[in-house]
Amino acid sequence: MPTRRELIRELTAAVGAANVLWRPEDLLVYEFDGTIERQAPHAVVFPAGAEETAAVIRACNRLGIPITPRGAGTGLSGGAIPTRRGVIIATARMRRILEIDPVNRLAVVEPGLPNLQLSEAAAAHGLFYAPDPSSQRACTIGGNVAENAGGPHCLALGVTQNHVIGLEVVTAAGEVTWLGNRVPDAFGYDLRGAFVGSEGTLGIATKVVVRLLPLPASVVTLLGIFDTVEQASHTVSAIIAAGMIPAAMEMMDRLTIEAAEAGLQCGYPPDAGAVLLVELDGLPGPVETQAARARAECFENGAREVRVAQDAHERELLWKGRKGAIGALGRIAPNYYILDGVVPRSKLVEVMARVSAIAESYGLPCANVFHAGDGNLHPLILFDERQPGMPAKVLAAGAEIMRACVDAGGSLSGEHGIGFEKRDFMPWLYSETDIAHMEQLRGVFGNSGDFNPCKLLPTGTGCGEMAHQEAALRAAGPDAYV
């Protein structure tokens, strides 16, 4: 192991002194992401481009120092937490849009670019970038690639995997290479596909070629207001059974509605049991017909009211509530633990009841946000991490909820990834052989265990040191950042 001084010297040689952080106070703000885990790195570096990134990776490999890539730190599975400390490679100096090609409808961007800024820039050409995580104001394209992020508008259009054509990557071994390129559907092994969703365990994307889509000619957004989550869930099934594929179909329960309305004044009725946000887009004629049909299905299934956004402003307001809903829960409790389960749509109501029962048995309040169209549920357990023993309790409740999803024939992650938190649950769904194969794929990219350690797979050493409870309660002493 090198001394800190040696490490800093090597990093400085790679990117210059101005782009290396090493003071404890400066490192402390990189100890978190969107989860409740905490661990500060030994250093943070900001390379500009593939060459500098490669130099940093090679230096760390030479010194045997663990590396963790980081985008905006909004991840919800602990992916950007430096579990074994070491070096964080942050993409904040790679934030440019390098090219927008309206003819071929693609863009070449750097990985640190915030998601929303891409769609804003593309709008000038009548185009947009489809994956729109609720965190899109903040999260980066690189982070989206790593987590294979989804968003409300991925129901009809597919998640990040469907919109990334090529990647310039620096592998865990420190080699610069391209996976895929500017032409979609390249032949040969789809290594681009393997990289998207690899949660920062194979290397760092330094350029991303994405597909852009033309903005729809016409959009109708409606808000169904219900007394119960059951009614809203049945509406979702009915809309899909009717053969429609709305652009988005999002559901929120009472507690979430309350928080969103209090925080964002988006016009949700605070006494509703559930709201369902349905968006239809396409050519004006068919969209109108579909909207009428969706509206009818809402009433058929017990909606007490259906509001249709009359203009862009009203539409924006309805979405503002949904996109800010998770953050708005901060008004109700200081912390939330957000889960990301997927269940068959037909089981939604049943699993929901199970989730409520589990949360109740722990005495914890639970709010719910759903990408209802995909059967992707996000129970949010609300708590205060300052209460002794609380984080452990919350994590235990979370594990039970995940188990319930899997038991219902579902899966462990819709879009937030496995990361640090759920890796121990992988054997619920994968055999030892499956996991061994995944481990081999890592080796192909040169990751022998030090590149974003303790993430995704339940393997690796030295991960136990950051016990869950301890991680959340690191507030304890100054050794946390030394």
Partner 1 sequence: MASDSPWPRPADAPAAEDLSRCVHCGLCVNSCPTYAITGLEAESPRGRIHLMKAVAEGRIPLTATVQSHWELCLQCRACEAVCPSGVPYGRLMEKTRAQLDAAPPSGAQSRQMRRFLLRNVVARPRVLAAILAPVRWLANSAVRTAAVRSGILHLIPPLARGERMLPNRVGAPLRRGGDVPQPAAPRGEAILFTGCVMGELFGDVHRATARVLARAGIRTENAPLQVCCGALSAHDGDLEFARRLARQNIDALEGSEAPIVVNSAGCGAAMKEYGELLDGDRAYAERARAFSARVRDATEYVAGLGVETPAAFTGRVAYQDPCHLAHAQRIREQPRQLLRSTGCELVETNGADMCCGAAGIYSLVQPTMSAALRERKADQFRAARPDVVVTANPGCQLQYQAAVREAGIEARVMHVMELLDEAQARAETERQD
Ligand X SMILES: Cc1cc2nc3c(=O)[nH]c(=O)nc-3n(C[C@H](O)[C@H](O)[C@H](O)COP(=O)(O)OP(=O)(O)OC[C@H]3O[C@@H](n4cnc5c(N)ncnc54)[C@H](O)[C@@H]3O)c2cc1C
Q: Which residues contact 258 (CB under 8 A, 6 or more apart)?
A: 270, 332
User: Rule CB under 6 A: is residue 197 a binding residue for ligand X?
Assistant: no
Sign of the Cα torsion 230, 235, 236, 238 reads: positive
- Comparing CB distances to ligand X, the nearer of 234 and 416 is 416
Q: Is 243 left (phi over 0), alpha (psi -120 to 50) or beta?
A: left
* Of 163, 395, 365, the residue nearest 258 (C-alpha): 365
The reply on whether position 327 binds ligand X by CB under 6 A is: yes
Between 33 and 110, CB nearer to ligand SF4: 33
Task: State both tokens at 296.
Answer: 């009818």
Assess 263 for contact with ligand X (CB under 6 A).
Answer: no
- Distance (Å, whole) CA 54 – CA 14: 9
The residue from 22, 27, 55, 70 that contacts ligand X (CB under 6 A) is 70
Distance CA(137)–CA(417), nearest Å, equals 19
Nearest to 219 by CA among 316, 132, 303, 136: 316
When asked if residue 41 is in the footprint of ligand X (CB under 6 A), the reply is no
Based on the shown chain and the rule CB under 6 A, indicate whether residue 149 belongs to the binding site for ligand X.
yes
163 forms part of the interface with ligand X (CB under 6 A): no
Cα distances (angstroms) measured from residue 357 to each of 101, 377, 397: 51, 15, 10
**Chain position carrying tokens 């988006």:** 266
Give the separation between CA 375 and CA 33, rounded to whole angstroms: 25
State the binding partner of 111 from partner 1, ligand SF4, ligand X, none, CB within 5 to 8 A by kind: ligand X
* Closer CB to ligand SF4, 15 or 259, in the complex: 259
Give the nearest distance from C-beta 11 to partner 1 in angstroms. Answer: 16
| 125 lies in the site for partner 1, by CB under 8 A | no
Residue from the set 284, 330, 409, 443 that interacts with ligand SF4 by CB under 6 A: 330
- The tokens describing 220, both together, are 């109708």
Nearer to ligand SF4, 330 or 409 (CB): 330
Strand 176-180 and strand 127-128: the pairing is: unpaired
Find the binder of ligand X among 374, 415, 421, 450 (CB under 6 A).
415
Q: Does 100 bind partner 1 (CB under 8 A)?
A: no
- Per CB under 6 A, residues contacting ligand X are 33-34, 68-76, 79-80, 91, 111, 133-135, 139-140, 142-144, 146-147, 149-151, 199-200, 204-205, 326-327, 415-416, 452
- Per CB under 8 A, residues contacting partner 1 are 21, 23-26, 28-30, 32-34, 46, 72-74, 90, 92-93, 95, 112, 114, 116-117, 135, 137-139, 260, 262-264, 324-331, 334-336, 384, 386, 475, 477-478, 480-481
